[in-house]
Amino acid sequence: MKKKILISDKVAEEGIAILTKSAEFDVVYKTGLSEEDLIKEIRDASGLIIRSATKANAKVIEAAEKLQVIARAGVGLDNVDLDKATAKGIVVMNTPAGNTISTAEQAIAMLFALARKTAVADASMKKGEWEKKLFQGTELRGKTIAVIGLGRIGMEVAKRCKAMAMRVVGYDPFIAREALSSMDIEVLELDEIWREADFITVHTPLTDQTRDLVNKDVIKKLKPTVKLINCARGGIYNEQDLFDALKEKKIAGAALDVFTQEPPKTLPPFHELDNIVLTPHLGASTDEAQIAVAVEAAENVAEYLLTGVARNSANFPSLEVNEYNVLKPYIELVEKMGALQGALMEGGIKEVSIYYTGVFGNYNLSPLTSSYLKGLMSSYTDATINFVNAPFVAKERGLKVQIGEDQASRDYSHLIIIRVKGDGGENELWGTVIGSQPWIVKFNEYLIDFIPAGKMLIMHNNDVPNVVGSIGSFLGKHGINIANLHLARTKRGGKALVIIEIDDELGKEIVEEMAALPEIIDLKHITV
């Protein structure tokens, strides 16, 4: 059956064509929908592609019965209820690469406009004036520009400024200084930037940390000749404080492409000033960028629905295809480990410790953690648990999750050790992948090798003769075929572990009867 993909905002035809040519999808392209009509259309949709007009709020998301992914053809996700989507297990993606060059070039355009007073000179000329002396500018060569936020767009801005012989300094607490060395960018602290910058351009998301990053207190530290640029998100500069500083000539100029309210209605009267350049959020407004974000959104949605690989997700660990291919068997392994431990533990689980040991390199291991929690939490709730909402559900239930990594992996190139603690005690599993198959290689104190799959009987028994024989006879009497049998013990005559894979489900009465066999200490019948 085809998967329905709803496109509810205007996007470039090149993006739509990617989806319509696939036999896997039924593409519905309807724009300008009311909330009521959107709810009707989204009810049976597997994917949703939007821009800024569609509001994917809690009410809309709640109505979606099959929705797996929402993709924004653009960067901002202000119009998506991310928490609600996560709780429902819906992947939310944006397309940061598609408008990278377009936004970087807009910032450079703003830089030139400020340096050469282009906008006010143009307005003057159109009035029939020739006020050449009023519009004397400044060269960019040798000036210091501070790039705050050194992600894709910030880096592209920095490259262009270096080409113009500017001194480029930067700040980004989330990128190691070593990673910036090849770009020849001086990494400074913010207090140094405030003192030294001739121009400041911001390229960060709007978060609690970046909101009002430049305010009246910061403005006091800036050069009076500084000029500020914002092509990122409205609110990074405090707009009222910026207006006051420009009006009182405490700083020389500013250029804004983004605002806290779009279209602006209650903002300070920037239009009264001649030392500011204003544009109506044009960062992504090029023909090339519109095609790029549409294509990227379509490709991301198709890839996720067909392969499970998520790119540029805001609420799910993103993987590149090569990473996914390497980690796929381990993703399956940890989900099986989670299901096994969830079924074995009595009572609630309070703590999980996961140790990724061995040669995992620099792969993103977050999807493995999500997969483990999916397997684990599925044993504790009737709600639908998937890779997206499993960490959310675990956190909601107060589960403490600790992650560790270690290059030492005992006798295996890759080994995953998971220990759980709860009301019923502790449980520890060691798992690895052998020949693309998931294997458990240690079960608590027992060294044992088995593939966690299908219907299983897991029991402890006294290590005495004829236990295995009596188990086999019992299962044979009830017509239950043994697929595989695994034995382990720590010492002769102690407590042994028996794991039996069976072909058929056992009823509750048969399980209770089997548990009462002589020498059986405990018995669990589980399916993983």
Catalytically active residues, by annotation: 233, 262, 281
Structure tokens at 368: 């493995």
Helix (H) or strand (E) holding 186: strand 186-187
Strand 47-50 to strand 144-148: parallel, antiparallel, or no bridges (unpaired)? unpaired
Burial of 205 (0-12, 13-18, 19+ CB in 10 A): middle
- What whole-number distance in Å separates Cα of residue 167 and Cα of residue 193? 12
Tokens of 313: 């997700």
162, 168 contact by CB (below 8 A): yes
Q: Which of 63, 62, 55, 59 is nearest to 32 (CA)?
A: 55
Give Cβ neighbours of residue 318 (< 8 Å, ≥ 6 apart). Answer: 310, 311, 312, 364
Residues near 414 by beta carbon (within 8 Å), at least 6 away in sequence: 330, 357, 358, 359, 360, 432, 433
Q: Kindly compute the dihedral angle of the four CA atoms of residues 389, 391, 392, 394, in this order, to the nearest 10 degrees.
A: 120
Q: Which residues contact 325 (CB under 8 A, 6 or more apart)?
A: none
Adjacent-strand bridge partners of 499: 458, 486
- Residue from 236, 172, 224, 222 nearest 194 by CA: 222
Instruction: Decide the pairing of beta strands 69-72 and 47-50.
Output: parallel
The C-alpha atoms of residue 104 and residue 120 are separated, in whole angstroms, by 22
**Contact (Cβ atoms closer than 8 angstroms) between residue 179 and residue 203:** no
Peptide bond into 264 cis (omega under 30): no
Cβ atoms within 10 Å, residue 381? 11
Q: Which of 146, 338, 449, 196 is nearest to 330 (CA)?
A: 338
Query: Rounded to an integer, what distance in angstroms lies between the CA atom of residue 168 and that of residue 181?
Result: 12
Q: Mapping DSSP to helix (H, G, I), strand (E, B) and coil, where does residue 254 land?
A: strand
**Which residue carries 């960028």 as its tokens?**
289
Name beta bridge partners: 430: 417, 442
Q: Is the bond preceding 263 in cis, omega lying within 30 degrees of 0?
A: yes
